[in-house]
Amino acid sequence: MTEAPARPQRVAAIDVARAVAIIGVAANHSIDGMLNAGLIPTDHPLEVVNSALYLFRMPALAFLLGLFVPRAVVTRGAAGYVRERATLMLWLYLLWYLVQSVAELATNDVKNVPREPGAVWRVWEPFAHLWFLPFLIVTAVLLAVLRPWQGPARRLLGGGALLLVCLLTWGWNPTLFGLTGLSLLAFAAAGSVVGLARLGTWMQAPLWAWTAAGLLGAASLGVLLQADVVPSTLPAEVGLAERALSLGAAVAGTIALLAVSVLVTRVPPLRDLLAAIGRRTLPIYLAHVLVVAGVRVVLVRVGVDQPYVIATLAILAGVGIPFAVATFTADRPWANWLFDLPPALGPRPTGPSAPAPARRVGAHRRRAATPPRDRADARR
């Protein structure tokens, strides 16, 4: 029997990286909403930032979630890990599909693009940001089976196969349960190969090394943005060369994000705040779309139409409100089913009268983007 590795000491920079990525998701959907509402033109500086973020924030999230997979598989077993992951994500998908659908129908009069009532019943067609939950189920199954972190052969065959899938499906995102975002599988596999312990060690490297890596990543991303690159999770017709360049841009952006996260950890107050956010990424991902859309609509209704003001307040609320709700509900069984399995679906006691272990939401789970143009709150 393979012994579970010792639990690695938590690395703040990894939690900070998760926070930076989820803030990027909230920023994307905030800017999307303004663009589709006609509040900013397509050449606005915010849209330029938006397009860059779309290239790498979901690949970065996929990479970061992959870090946690090897230990989870060893600790719970492949079947146990897949069962737990699939049950959780399916529950959250159905719950938030209902929540999102009700919210969309109730606000059709103030949305950028009204939602057709009949579409609510097509639960096999993920909309807005909810595609990411089926993707997490697919990721759990494939990584648990392929285990690319276990030796050179698995790394070459399993990781190579997922890299091929990445290139073949880049820009191919049909609106069907489990088929959106398959190009992100290579990033999750890369995260599993690197692993928590190794990345944690790398993040202890000298500050100058990460500064250089961040500048190189940002410069490479800037250069590649001049080419015909497209985000992986948006429908796009591109050739193999453009897909390879887009993949390179996503890698460069992910390296820059990791470097920024390492640098931020040198500022203790900001590090502690972002690390706390990074441990609540799944709740933030689930709820932020409703919040950023609502903030934009309310601000416009009261006469605030300055894009930078709207974006700032929407991002702060889109991250802060779900974080506060998740923190409040985490230890309250009557409420934590919003972001976790309800007790009836959770793990059963392992001994006589043994209670199910408390589950902390969002600490090691991953998450954030949306199909057509990944524009979740743009529809509102």
Q: Is residue 1 part of a domain?
A: no
362 pLDDT band (50/70/90 cuts)? very low
Q: Is residue 88 part of a domain?
A: yes
Q: Is residue 281 part of a domain?
A: yes
Q: Which two tokens stand for residue 289?
A: 């779309």
Domain count, the chain: 1
Amino acid at 208: W
Q: How far apart are CA 35 and CA 361, in angstroms?
A: 33
Amino acid at 6: A
What are the residue ranges of helices labelled H in 239-280? 240-264, 268-278
Q: What is the pLDDT of residue 117?
A: 76
Q: Is residue 3 part of a domain?
A: no
Q: Is residue 355 part of a domain?
A: no
Model confidence pLDDT, tens digit, residues 181-201? 999 999 999 999 999 999 999
On whether the pTM is more than 0.75, the answer is yes
Residue range of the domain that includes 309? 12-346+360-379
Model confidence pLDDT, tens digit, residues 295-322? 999 999 999 999 999 999 999 999 999 9
Q: How far apart are CA 366 and CA 281, in angstroms?
A: 7
What are the backbone angles phi and psi of residue 139, rounded to the nearest 5°? Answer: -60, -45
Q: How far are the Cα atoms of 10, 152, 239, 271, 284 from residue 275, in angstroms, in the given order?
A: 10, 33, 39, 6, 13
Helices and strands, number each (H, E), in the chain: 13, 0
Q: Is residue 266 part of a domain?
A: yes
Model confidence pLDDT, tens digit, residues 62-118? 999 999 999 999 999 999 999 999 999 999 999 999 999 988 888 767 666 667 777
Helix (H) or strand (E) holding 197: helix 185-202
Q: Is residue 354 part of a domain?
A: no
